Amino acid sequence: MKKVSVSTLANKKEAGKKISMLTAYDYPTAKLIDQAEIDIALVGDSLGMVLLGYENTLKVTLDDILHHTKAVARGLKKAFLVADMPFASYKMGDIKETVKGAARLVQLGGAEGVKLEGGREIIDEVRAIIKAGIPVMGHLGLTPQSVKHFGGFKVQAKEEEAAKTLLEDAKILEEAGVFSLVLECIPAPLAKKVSQSLSIPVIGIGAGKGCDGQVLVNQDLLGVSNDFKPRFVRRYANLNEEMLDAFKRYREDVEQGNFPNEEESFL
């Protein structure tokens, strides 16, 4: 697998080949993503929920994303690395500061692109970041940073007017120069229509199979937590049970004096 670039992703869409994308927050996971030949690694603000124990993504800071992006960048050689612009790092009215934040993720963190949630309301920020030479990935539908506004994690754009607005926003983002677009938790027919209407790759999460690719949070895919399982998640492992069993067996061996043994000790 050669190094994935913006051109690689565009060519895959043109050729009708599906794009794979997974979240990554650390060096070991990044190395595995490369070995599995995943196209895109995303340092998502979902780390606030799956790693830091927050109830949503709103408390994640740019420094949090930068810290984890650095770790992932050290492990990647092939996958294209995208970092989330977290809540309060844009939409605040200071476009220069937004561009500086995106630049930090690229210059210091090693990201190759950044992802922003929203449509026409953030178009000035999107254009400014792209003008600075930083590729931007869009994100429409259920945008977790707006969860308070949506009243929870719910399917979006179910009504005709909302669906029309989403499609318009997708085209506005494409015209502004985003290289790709994530659609989260929207009806599958709408996601397929958006994908067919745009020339850029459209990545779905809870948006059906009609998109040009799919993204999942790797902890969901691996079954690391049993607290919450979105309907759209397919679990390819159940590490929660395996880890719990390993921790219990370790505790029992320590309590019974079975760990360490002579071979595991320095004599």
Specify the pairing of strand 113-115 against strand 19-23.
unpaired
Residue 184 annotated as catalytic? yes
pLDDT value of position 227 = 75
Please determine, for residue 150, whether its predicted confidence score (pLDDT) is greater than 60: no
Catalytic entry in 184, 241, 242, 262: 184
Give CATH for domain 6-258.
3.20.20.60
Could you state, in order of their start, the residue ranges of all structural domains in the chain? 6-258
Q: Percent of the chain beyond pLDDT 70?
A: 96
Angle between helices 27-35 and 62-75 (to 10 degrees): 50
pLDDT in tens, 112-138: 999 999 999 999 999 999 999 999 999
- Please spell the DSSP secondary structure of 42-79, one letter per residue: EE-TTHHHHTS--SSSTT--HHHHHHHHHHHHHH-SSS
pLDDT tens-digit readout, 205-243 = 999 999 999 999 999 999 998 776 778 899 999 999 999
> What per-residue string of b and e applies to 237-266 under the rule 16 or more CB within 10 Å gives b?
eebbeeeeeeeeeeeeeeeeeeeeeeeeee
> Per-residue pLDDT averaged across 43-68, rounded?
96
Q: For the packed helices 95-107 and 123-131, what is the interaxial angle rounded to 10 degrees?
A: 50
Answer whether residue 151 shows pLDDT above 70: no
- What per-residue confidence (pLDDT) applies to 152? 54
How many Cβ atoms from other residues are within 10 Å of residue 60's Cβ?
A: 26
pTM: 0.94
Whether 75 shows a pLDDT value over 90: the answer reads: yes
Query: Does an H or E element contain 254, and which?
Result: helix 239-255
Average pLDDT for the chain? 94
* Tens digits of residue pLDDT in 239-259: 999 999 999 999 999 999 999
